A and B are shown apart, each in its own frame.
Chain A
Amino acid sequence: MPGIFTIAKKEFMDHVSDQTFLLCFGTLLVVMVASTFYQLNYIHQQMVSLVPSAGLFESELWKDPQNSVMLETVLTGDIASLGALVAIALSFNSINKERTEGSLRVLLSYPISKSKIILGKLLGGILVVVIVVLTSMTISLGIEMYVLSIPLTSEVFLRLATIVGLGIVLLVFFLCLGTAVSIVVRDPSTCLISLLIISTLLQVNTIAMILVTIGNIFPRSLHINGGRANLQYSPSTYSWQMPPVLSQIDKNWLRASPVLAYRTVSDNIFHFQNVFVSVVHNTVGLDIITIEFSWLLPRNINLMWTPVIYLVVAFIVCIVLFLWRDVD
């Protein structure tokens, strides 16, 4: 264990003093602050239109479904795109650079096993990723909560903890992926462009697009829309249009991309209440139904597993590749 921590400490110090990392992290912060104000402006505008009709307390207008989802949706998008870039910047030359420079060979001449080296490297990277996500999300969400006077209740905290936790899982997946590619591909430039292509493909959710296309080419047993499954995927809006009977298939297909799964879970769990118009004894009223986290969690657990599974697979692949591949 001391060996792992020594390597992790060295990696951590290397990362936090790396100019490229600092540039990427700085850009992420600038973009996330901009997104925070974008979201706040949207919510303020929405509140102005809600005040006369909603019949809600003004201090609780942020709980309206259209507003509550805007507390995080752009932020999680930034974490999934620019945050992924930070994780890639941390990992794309973590192994191949040391291999070329010969420092990996020097490291192995010390009494330390290969598994400790890779675990230490990953641990150092994970620590940096945790700091990146915690800092950026805390600043952004802190500004929002202060401006909108949102109290930090357990319901709010659990939702925040979930999106921050899943954000960390997603970026650690990109870190492990970057390290794995860095073990296989010797040239850092090729390694970096390969990772950027993979990351971009996961943003567009190409896997789901391919599956939907195949699903549409082959007629299904369900006789919908002339014998074809009526599933469409619109890349511009990420909206899925389908008959309700196929909702389970849709959910499974969303799992194809950890990025989209993360964004969908985040959007789903940032619902605090639903408002229904009710008519009782000829009197029109508003029924406000509170949505609790404990109700939302089991309904989104399938999607939550997606980034976790991707992370576990990438982590194992990373370790196995490093142990099996020759150092030279």
Chain B
Amino acid sequence: MPGISTIIKKEISDAVTNRSFLLSFGILVLCMVLAGFAAGNTFNSQRFGLAKDRLLILSDIAPIITLLGALVAVALGFNSINKERPEGSLEVMLSYPIYRDQIILGKLLGNLVVTSIATTASTGISLALYLQMTKIVFDPEMLVRYTTLTLLAILLLSGYLGLGILLSAYIEDPKTTLLITFLFLGIFNSETLYSYGQILSNLVYGNTPRVWGLGGSVPVYPPAKALQDFISSLSPAYDFTSFSTNLGNYLQPMTLNGVVVNSRFWDLITNNLVFLPVLIILPVATFIGCYILFTRTDIS
């Protein structure tokens, strides 16, 4: 354990002096402040109107987390291993009495801590500004929803961080790692998986009747819908955005296929469970992948 904690401390101190991380984190905070301001302004102007979403901010900051939060996670992860290989610092580290698995666990945990702090701080600043502008009383329901969004954001960004570190362990060139990570983000942030889900569902079950649903049209026939939903939910960005939107709109109950998905918190959790598996599996799988790859491949 002392070995791991030393590596964690080193990773944290490396991150806070890393220019790429500081730049992307600064931009994330700036945009979160602007989004908090914009959401507060929108709420104030609609105070007497029909649309009154007290947590409007949650659905407004979700796209910023998927784009700029992803930058923070990728900036931390993309060269965390392959940069140290040519510099020889990995070999030096292994000459000390420390195991390989302690090094990789320390790296993963250190970067995870930094990502979590960056996410919590940026969402917290945005929410604080929003609450200050709108003078909304922060009740327990809001606290639970805000905490859920922050946890989901940490899960999403941990997944991206893990993906970056995994590619960094596999690919020797940091530039190629960065580009490939961004290609993944491009696919996750577009309608690609949703669309291929639709195509596959049509191929397997034929052109069944469709109704409007989350993200676009969904088949009425349950197995076809299940297949399309499964492939769509493989995108963590889609899952995160869908869940965050439902979290924020709780004063305007939304019905999806006859089921109210967002009225009470526990209803919301149970009706949005479909969005959780990939958000949980991605960080777990990438972290396990990093561990296996790092402990079983040659360092030099």
Contact = CB atoms under 8 A, between A and B. Distances in A.
A binds B: yes
A78 B195 CA distance: 14
Contact of A193 (B64, B75, B189, B216): B75
B55 interface: no
A135 interface: no
Interface in A182-229: 188-190, 192-194, 196-197, 200-201, 203-204, 206, 209-210, 212-213, 216, 225
17 contacts: A24-B183, A34-B193, A42-B217, A82-B186, A190-B19, A193-B20, A193-B75, A193-B78, A197-B23, A201-B27, A204-B63, A206-B27, A210-B34, A213-B38, A234-B39, A235-B31, A236-B63
A35 interface: yes
A34 B75 CA distance: 28
A81 B212 contact: no
B82 to A, nearest CB: 10
Nearest to A225: B45
Interface in A70-95: 74, 77-78, 81-82, 85, 89, 92-93
Interface residues of B, number: 51
**Residue among A45, A85, A92, A189 having the largest count of chain B Cβ atoms under 10 Å:** A189
Contact of B34 (A92, A93, A194, A209): A209
Contact of B190 (A31, A192, A204, A213): A31
Interface residues of A, number: 48
Give chain A's interface secondary structure class.
Answer: helix
A38 B191 contact: yes
Contacts of A81: 186, 189-190
B41 A216 contact: yes
A115 interface: no
A31 B186 contact: yes
Nearest to A196: B182
Interface in B59-104: 59-60, 62-64, 67-68, 71, 75, 78-79, 83
B190 A232 contact: no
A189 B179 CA distance: 10
A206 B34 contact: yes
B34 A196 contact: no
Given A37-B195, A81-B189, A85-B182, A204 B37 contact: no
A113 interface: no
A275 interface: no
Contacts of B23: 193-194, 197
B38 A31 contact: no
Contacts of B144: none
A197 B24 contact: yes
Contacts of A201: 27
Nearest to A203: B67
Given A193-B75, A210-B34, A42 B216 contact: yes
Interface stretch (B109-117, B135-143, B170-178, B261-269): B170-178
B194 interface: yes
A85 B34 contact: no
A27 B191 contact: no
A234 B58 CA distance: 12
Nearest to B79: A189
B10 interface: no
Nearest to A27: B183
Contacts of A41: 195, 198, 210, 216-217
B30 interface: yes
**Residue among A42, A77, A234 having the largest count of chain B Cβ atoms under 10 Å:** A234
Contacts of A230: 45
Interface in A121-168: none
Contacts of B212: 45
Given A45-B210, A232-B41, A241-B45, A188 B195 contact: no
B299 interface: no
A233 interface: yes
B183 to A, nearest CB: 5
A212 B182 CA distance: 29
B186 A85 contact: yes
A229 to B, nearest CB: 10
Given A37-B198, A197-B24, A234-B60, A192 B216 contact: no
Contact of B178 (A27, A42, A78, A193): A193
A85 B216 contact: no
A54 interface: no
B181 to A, nearest CB: 10
B242 to A, nearest CB: 12
